[in-house]
Amino acid sequence: MSTQTTPQAPAGPGVFRDRVALITGADRGIGRALASRLGAQGCRLVLHSHDAEGLTKTVADEGWVDGQVLTAVHDVADSAAVEAAVAEAVARFGKIDYLLNVAGVAHPGGVLTTSREIWDRTLATNLTGYFVTARTVLPYMKEAGDGFVVNMSSIWGRRTAPPGAMLAYSVSKWGVEGLTRALAEEARPWGVRVSGIVLDKVDTSFRENMPGELTQEQRDRMLTAADVADSTCALLGSSRRAHVSTVELDAWQWV
């Protein structure tokens, strides 16, 4: 099943109480918005980021206590680091209910202006990182017979980015689309759901890599990280009888 509407967030506090969510890229933007929303509803948080300072500041700003949150600083494509961090989280909390793959990078450039370094870094973070984290978490979900993986994707994974704009990013998100579908089929017999959220323009630091200079009016017409958190929480709180394979969030007021 696929939908292009924006679901509403589940009602009432405590919908996610005592659930455990692992969020990558948790120190800023969408990742932080998700952590804040889930934490406020009683979810225990496993927050991964490559930015130690940003992650420390996020935890301090949100006022989370040690019993609610566990952090890890590493590259999401570093298999050994991810495995160690996930093992520590399961030892601390006993399980992982949700994996939210959010971490990502974006760089401008087409085929003639994208360096091999940028290409490799983009695919390592945006695609390999999703694979590595899912591969590490899914055995625990399989054993539990339950779990939910959500991969953040992009409209540029459904259609090509403007010529010369964001080639590596677009290719990585095409890969995320394929990975999400493949994981959904493989994890289905285990009782684990895998969904993708396809994002249009979101007003985060990623906007800096959009072609051209944005006006304040244009930014006001973009989606916000809070909008993405609303839809993600609605998806996570949906009935286990339903599997929403894809949610598409359109910045429908964009001109």
Domain boundaries, given as residue ranges, for the chain: 2-249
Whether residue 216 is predicted with pLDDT greater than 80 in this model: the reply is no
Looking at residues 226-237, what average pLDDT do you find? 95
Angle CA 129–134–157, to nearest 5? 60
Look over the chain and give the mean of its residue pLDDT values, rounded to a whole number.
Answer: 90
Range with the lowest mean pLDDT among 19-23, 28-32, 189-193, 208-212?
Answer: 208-212
Question: Could you give the CA distance from residue 56 to residue 49 in angstroms, rounded to a whole number?
Answer: 10
Just list the catalytic residues: 169
Give the confidence band of 221 by pLDDT, cuts at 50, 70, 90.
confident
Residue 8: per-residue pLDDT: 42
How confident is the model at residue 13, as a pLDDT?
Answer: 52
Q: What confidence tier does 203 reach under pLDDT thresholds 50, 70, 90?
A: confident
Do 150 and 183 form a contact (C-beta atoms < 8 A)?
no
Residue 6 has pLDDT above 50, yes or no: no
Report the C-alpha gap between 38 and 19 in whole angstroms: 9
Asked which of 59-68, 69-78, 188-197 is least confident by mean pLDDT, the reply is 59-68
Please tell me the least confidently modeled range out of 46-50, 63-67, 134-138, 167-171: 63-67
pLDDT number for residue 46: 98
pLDDT average, residue stretch 3-20: 60
Confidence at 2, pLDDT banded by 50, 70, 90: very low
> What CATH topology corresponds to 2-249?
Rossmann fold (3.40.50)
Write out pLDDT tens, residues 139-181.
999 999 999 999 999 999 998 888 888 999 999 999 999 999 9
Amino acid 209: pLDDT: 59
Which candidate, 15, 51, 112, 58, places its Cα nearest to that of 225?
Answer: 58
pLDDT at 179: 98
